[in-house]
C-alpha cells in the first residue's frame, strides 16, 4: 500500500508498527554519524606521527594516554555516495545497494551484469 509524504516511500505494517522504506537512491546515513567519522579521521591524522614514534619506542603507556579516537582501528569504512557502513565493497568504495544501482545503470565502467 502506498502512503507517505513522497511517492518513493512505502509504508508497511509489520507487527503493528509501520516502517517506512525509501528507494535506494534516497538512503543516507545520519549526518551526525558522518560528522563523527570526520572528527575521528581528523584525530587519527593529528596523532599519526606521535603514535608511530611511540610504537617505534615501544612506549605502550604513552600510547594508552593518547585519545581513544587517535587509533585508526576506530575508523569505519563508509560508502562514498550514501555513507552506509554495512555491505561495503572496498574496491569501489560503495555500499552493495549503491553499487548495484550504478552498475545496473551502466555508470561504472567495466562492470556488467553476468548471466549464465
Residue 89 carries which DSSP code?
Answer: E
Residue 93 carries which DSSP code?
Answer: T
pLDDT tens digit string along 37-94?
999 999 999 999 999 999 999 999 999 999 999 999 999 999 988 899 999 999 999 9
* Higher pLDDT among residues 108 and 15, named by residue: 108
Please give the model's pTM, rounded to 2 decimal places. 0.64
In terms of Cβ atoms closer than 10 Å to its own Cβ (0-12, 13-18, 19+), residue 94 is buried
Q: How far apart are the first and last CA of the chain?
A: 35
What are the backbone angles phi and psi of residue 53, rounded to the nearest 5°? Answer: -65, -45
Amino acid at each position: 500500500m502506498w502512503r507517505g509524504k513522497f511517492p518513493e516511500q512505502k509504508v508497511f505494517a509489520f507487527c503493528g508498527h509501520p516502517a517506512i522504506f525509501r528507494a535506494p537512491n534516497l538512503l543516507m546515513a545520519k549526518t551526525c554519524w558522518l560528522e563523527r567519522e570526520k572528527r575521528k579521521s581528523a584525530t587519527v591524522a593529528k596523532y599519526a606521527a606521535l603514535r608511530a614514534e611511540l610504537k617505534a619506542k615501544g612506549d605502550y603507556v604513552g600510547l594508552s594516554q593518547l585519545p581513544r579516537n587517535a587509533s585508526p582501528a576506530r575508523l569505519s569504512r563508509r560508502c562514498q555516495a550514501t555513507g552506509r557502513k554495512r555491505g561495503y565493497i572496498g574496491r569501489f568504495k560503495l555500499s552493495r545497494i549503491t553499487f548495484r544501482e550504478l552498475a545496473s545503470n551502466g555508470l561504472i565502467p567495466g562492470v556488467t551484469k553476468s548471466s549464465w
